[in-house]
Amino acid sequence: MSLSTRKAIVITAVATVFLVANIWIVTNWLEERGVIGFAEHIKAEYLTGTAITIIVVLLILLVKPGAERAGVLRRCPVCEHVLLGRGKYCGECGSRV
């Protein structure tokens, strides 16, 4: 975990606590601005059960292939050629990887 990730987590936690502590003010402000009504309209019109199912299935399917994620399959950063073995140079374009 890098330092910037930790900073982001701390800032997010502090912002969340402030937001929850002032939840009624935030809610009233959103109601006055019409954001809640707009969100209800979007939910009723576009976020039906079928649409949510399709979104979830796409999120599941749109992950990196298992071999590439595990680091078994490597690709050249220059030409995207699949690298076999542990060599330091790309067999296609000769770039150092």
User: Which region, judged by CB under 5 A, interacts with Zn ion, from 12-20, 31-39, 64-72, 78-86?
Assistant: 78-86
Alpha carbons 17 and 63: distance in angstroms, whole number: 32
Q: Does 92 help bind Zn ion (rule: CB under 5 A)?
A: yes
**Are the C-beta atoms of residues 56 and 48 closer than 8 Å to each other?**
no
**25/78 with CB nearer Zn ion:** 78
**31/92 with CB nearer Zn ion:** 92
Q: By rule CB under 5 A, what string of x and - marks binding of each residue 26-65 to Zn ion? A: ----------------------------------------
Q: Does 25 help bind Zn ion (rule: CB under 5 A)?
A: no
What are the tokens at 57?
Answer: 């299935």
Which residue has tokens 């959103």?
A: 30
What are the tokens at 88?
Answer: 């330091």
CA neighbours closer than 13 Å in the CB half-sphere of residue 49:
0
Alpha-helix runs per DSSP H in 1-97:
3-21, 23-33, 35-46, 49-61, 66-69
Q: Please select the residue that binds Zn ion; options are 19, 67, 78, 82, rule is CB under 5 A.
A: 78
Q: Which residues bind Zn ion (CB under 5 A)?
A: 76, 78-79, 81, 90, 92-93, 95
